[in-house]
């Protein structure tokens, strides 16, 4: 396995292989098999493009060889920042085939995140779109290349590449060009990102074996077939639309992926009608927006069979409205890029589908619900969810110190989620212990934003906490103790943007206070802060 990754203990790996979870197939081999089975069927629809499985396979092979000719080697890390396009899949499979390891970042990430990840992963290349949503990624690429000289290649997937390498100038290999060793399925295939709780985003190494198991099992649980038409509405770099069952699960089943450049109804509804979409996945705020818009839409959404909702808690009331308003079934998905994914199942009683966040994929997913001492709580009592299993990581990449806290000595991942387990084995997400804000499915690590705020000369101390919000579930509030004249909210926001922080991490609300409420031992009491803010009071001690 790649250095600085924590492998599963040998006896676990053996058990997962014996159980048939880990098959030894790689993503590159999978695409070749799919291209043989589904050759002329359309794999992906994106803008004006309609690529068959054969097209995708050929393009991925050619790009893999081209990247190799440029000097990208197996196990090299490559930062990928692409919107929802067919090229995303071409790039992912090219890197898988080459055994180079994509670090999947979100289109919303900016220099703060990308520079850190490029450094931390020692990336050799950065693959971007020229622009998306009015943002020019070439500007970002210039800054990344300046600050991280190890990034030798910037490839621009479409549009005018400026001083960078356009995709269509990647050398086209000729027969007999150098081959590289076939990647091993037990090795790292890709890096996902954690929403995290720490100052910098954590990288999650996923192997071919473990990720493909979660994808294959997800496709089965969700009943995917070659007739499945999946609308990728959320950014596909995210673990949910990528693998639960997501674009890879749909391809695995021989179905069709329709790439939506944006998840808003104005873009998504016409695509659902035109492509007869059967399945899609959303975070709760988007599901609410879709339901609102569907009441008056002129678009035909009748092909939609299942709407998946996950990433944050979907309220029971909203869950009950999905079928009446959208005419499709709801599937709740509770997952994490670190591994564990839970689904409600189509054949379960409605009560479970509408009021729980599902149950784990695998009989080999081990679940513990514990109190603050780490002792198991009685069934039905809320506690922190700990988990380990055949597709849950044993450690973040190059993060020894953090790993010692984030995992138990016997390898359980501490999710930081507070859940309750029903007698049926379903999980209900009741809350959270980790220092994170879940902003409608987008995770914001409080410490990361606090560190940026502390860099401002007029900030003496800062605490970022969640405040409840009817639409997003939670919004972020930065509470600041000033040094001298208090900075304005606008100044602080501009300052954070200038530091290259992703837009969804910029605080929604800023409050200035003289001092923080503290706990008995003198630490900032975020619980007290949240309570004061929710009550609309000045959060001063
Ligand atoms: P990450 O670790 O960044 O991949 O984010 C995963 C986290 O998102 C989980 O640990 C939960 O806190 C949250 N999450 C995901 N799906 C749900 C859901 N259906 N309900 C409540 N929280 C969720
Ligand atoms: O929020 C998540 O990270 C998430 C939600 C649903 C996830 O990673 C997943 C399904 O796989």
What pLDDT sits at residue 168? 84
Of all atoms in ligand 2, which is nearest to the CA of residue 195? 3
- Give the pLDDT band (50/70/90) at residue 159: confident
- Give the pLDDT band (50/70/90) at residue 534: confident
Any ligand 2 atom below 6 A from CB of 341:
yes
Residues paired with 279 in a beta bridge? 230, 306
The order of strands in the sheet holding 306-310 is 49-52, 42-46, 256-259, 229-232, 279-282, 306-310, 329-336, 339-343, 359-360
Which three-class secondary structure state does DSSP give residue 512? Answer: strand
Q: Is 434:240 a contact under the CB 8 Å cutoff?
A: no
Give 395-417 pLDDT, tens digit per residue: 999 999 999 999 999 999 999 99
The closest residue, in CA terms, to atom 23 on ligand 1 is 312
Residue 541, pLDDT > 80, answer no
Helix (H) / strand (E) element for 352: namely: helix 350-355
Q: Is 459:453 a contact under the CB 8 Å cutoff?
A: yes
Give 324-333 pLDDT, tens digit per residue: 999 999 999 9
Whether pTM exceeds 0.95: yes
Q: Is 199:451 a contact under the CB 8 Å cutoff?
A: yes
Q: Is 421:442 a contact under the CB 8 Å cutoff?
A: no
CA diameter of the chain: 72
What pLDDT sits at residue 537? 65
Centroid of ligand 1 to alpha carbon of 497 (angstroms): 26
Centroid of ligand 1 to alpha carbon of 336 (angstroms): 5
Give 290-326 pLDDT, tens digit per residue: 999 999 999 999 999 999 999 999 999 999 999 999 9
- Specify the pairing of strand 279-282 against strand 135-136: unpaired
Q: What's the rounded mean pLDDT across residues 4-23?
A: 98
Of all atoms in ligand 1, which is nearest to the CA of residue 415? 10
Centroid of ligand 2 to alpha carbon of 392 (angstroms): 13
Any ligand 2 atom below 6 A from CB of 244:
yes
Give 99-141 pLDDT, tens digit per residue: 999 999 999 999 999 999 999 999 999 999 999 999 999 999 9
- Give the pLDDT band (50/70/90) at residue 538: low
Centroid of ligand 1 to alpha carbon of 443 (angstroms): 8
- Give the pLDDT band (50/70/90) at residue 540: low
Q: Which ligand is nearest to the CA of 340?
A: 2
> What DSSP designation does 86 have?
H
Q: Is 168:155 a contact under the CB 8 Å cutoff?
A: no
Q: What's the rounded mean pLDDT across residues 181-195?
A: 96
Q: What's the rounded mean pLDDT across residues 237-251?
A: 98
Any ligand 2 atom below 6 A from CB of 239:
yes
Residue 286, pLDDT > 60, answer yes
- Give the pLDDT band (50/70/90) at residue 179: confident
Q: Assign 3-state DSSP to the chain and report helix, strand, coil percentages, each to 5.
A: 35, 25, 40
- The domains located in the chain, with CATH, are 27-183 (3.40.50.980), 208-432 (3.40.50.12780), 440-534 (3.30.300.30)
Residue 175, pLDDT > 90, answer no
Of all atoms in ligand 1, which is nearest to the CA of residue 239? 4
What pLDDT sits at residue 177? 63
Q: What's the rounded mean pLDDT across residues 406-430?
A: 98
Q: What's the rounded mean pLDDT across residues 275-288?
A: 98
Q: CA-based angle 248:254:258, to the nearest 5?
A: 60
Q: What's the rounded mean pLDDT across residues 432-441?
A: 97
Centroid of ligand 2 to alpha carbon of 214 (angstroms): 12
Ligand 1 is surrounded, with C-beta below 6 A, by 194-195, 239, 310-313, 332-338, 357, 415, 417, 429, 432, 438, 443
What pLDDT sits at residue 172? 78
- State the Cα–Cα distance between residues 126 and 153, nearest whole angstrom: 6
Q: What's the rounded mean pLDDT across residues 480-492?
A: 97
Residue 229, pLDDT > 60, answer yes
- Give the pLDDT band (50/70/90) at residue 539: low
Share of the chain above pLDDT 70, in %: 98
Share of the chain above pLDDT 90, in %: 93
- State the Cα–Cα distance between residues 538 and 523, nearest whole angstrom: 19
Residue 78, pLDDT > 90, answer yes
Give 21-61 pLDDT, tens digit per residue: 999 999 999 999 999 999 999 999 999 999 999 999 999 99
Distances in Å between the alpha carbon of 398 and those of 122, 123, 405? 11, 14, 14
Mean pLDDT, the chain, whole residue set: 96
- Give the pLDDT band (50/70/90) at residue 169: confident
Helix (H) / strand (E) element for 266: namely: helix 265-275
378 contacts: CB under 8 Å, gap ≥ 6: none
């Amino acid at each position: 396995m790649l250095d600085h990754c924590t492998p599963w203990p040998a006896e676990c790996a053996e058990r997962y292989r014996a159980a048939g979870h880990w098959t030894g197939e790689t993503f590159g081999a999978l695409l070749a098999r799919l291209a043989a089975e589904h050759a002329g069927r359309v794999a992906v629809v994106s803008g004006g493009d309609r690529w068959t499985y054969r097209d995708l396979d050929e393009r991925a092979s050619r790009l893999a060889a081209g990247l190799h000719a440029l000097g990208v080697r197996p196990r090299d890390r490559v930062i990928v920042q692409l919107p929802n396009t067919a090229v995303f899949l071409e790039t992912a499979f090219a890197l898988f085939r080459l055994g180079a390891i994509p670090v999947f970042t979100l289109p919303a990430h900016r220099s703060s995140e990308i520079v850190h990840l490029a450094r931390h992963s020692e990336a050799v290349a950065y693959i971007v779109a020229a622009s998306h949503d009015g943002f020019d990624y070439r500007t970002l690429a210039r800054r990344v290349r300046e600050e991280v000289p190890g990034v030798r290649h910037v490839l621009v997937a479409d549009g005018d590449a400026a001083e960078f390498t356009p995709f269509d100038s990647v050398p086209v290999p000729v027969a007999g060009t150098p081959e590289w060793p076939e990647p091993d399925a037990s090795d790292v295939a890709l890096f996902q990102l954690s929403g995290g709780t720490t100052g910098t985003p954590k990288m999650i190494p996923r192997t071919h074996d473990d990720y493909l198991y979660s994808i294959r099992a997800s496709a089965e649980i969700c009943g995917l077939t070659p007739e499945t038409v999946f609308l990728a509405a959320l950014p596909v770099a995210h673990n949910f639309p990528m693998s639960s069952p997501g674009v890879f699960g749909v391809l695995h089943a021989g179905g069709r992926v329709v790439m939506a450049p944006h998840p808003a109804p104005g873009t998504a509804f016409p695509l659902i009608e035109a492509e007869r979409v059967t399945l899609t996945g959303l975070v709760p705020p988007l599901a609410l927006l879709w339901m609102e818009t569907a009441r008056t839409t002129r678009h035909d959404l009748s092909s939609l069979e299942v709407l998946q909702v996950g990433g944050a808690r979907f309220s029971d009331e909203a869950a009950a409205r999905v079928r009446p308003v959208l005419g499709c079934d709801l599937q709740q998905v509770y997952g994490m890029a670190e591994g564990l994914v839970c689904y409600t199942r189509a054949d379960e009683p409605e009560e479970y589908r509408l009021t729980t966040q599902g149950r784990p994929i695998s009989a080999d997913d081990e679940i513990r619900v514990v109190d603050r001492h780490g002792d198991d709580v009685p069934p039905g009592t809320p506690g922190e969810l700990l988990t380990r299993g055949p597709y849950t990581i044993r450690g973040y990449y190059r993060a020894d110190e953090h790993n010692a806290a984030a995992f138990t000595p016997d390898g359980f991942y501490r999710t930081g989620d507070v859940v309750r387990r029903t007698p049926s084995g379903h999980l209900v997400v009741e809350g959270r212990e980790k220092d994170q804000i879940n902003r409608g499915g987008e995770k914001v690590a409080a410490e990361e934003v606090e560190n940026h705020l502390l860099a401002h000369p007029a900030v003496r101390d800062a605490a970022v906490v969640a405040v409840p919000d009817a639409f997003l579930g939670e919004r972020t509030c930065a509470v600041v103790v000033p040094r001298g004249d208090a900075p304005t909210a606008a100044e602080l926001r501009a300052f954070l943007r200038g530091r290259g922080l992703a837009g969804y991490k910029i605080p929604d609300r800023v409050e200035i206070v003289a001092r923080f409420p503290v706990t008995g031992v003198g630490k900032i009491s975020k619980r007290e802060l949240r309570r004061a803010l929710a009550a609309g009071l000045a959060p001063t001690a």
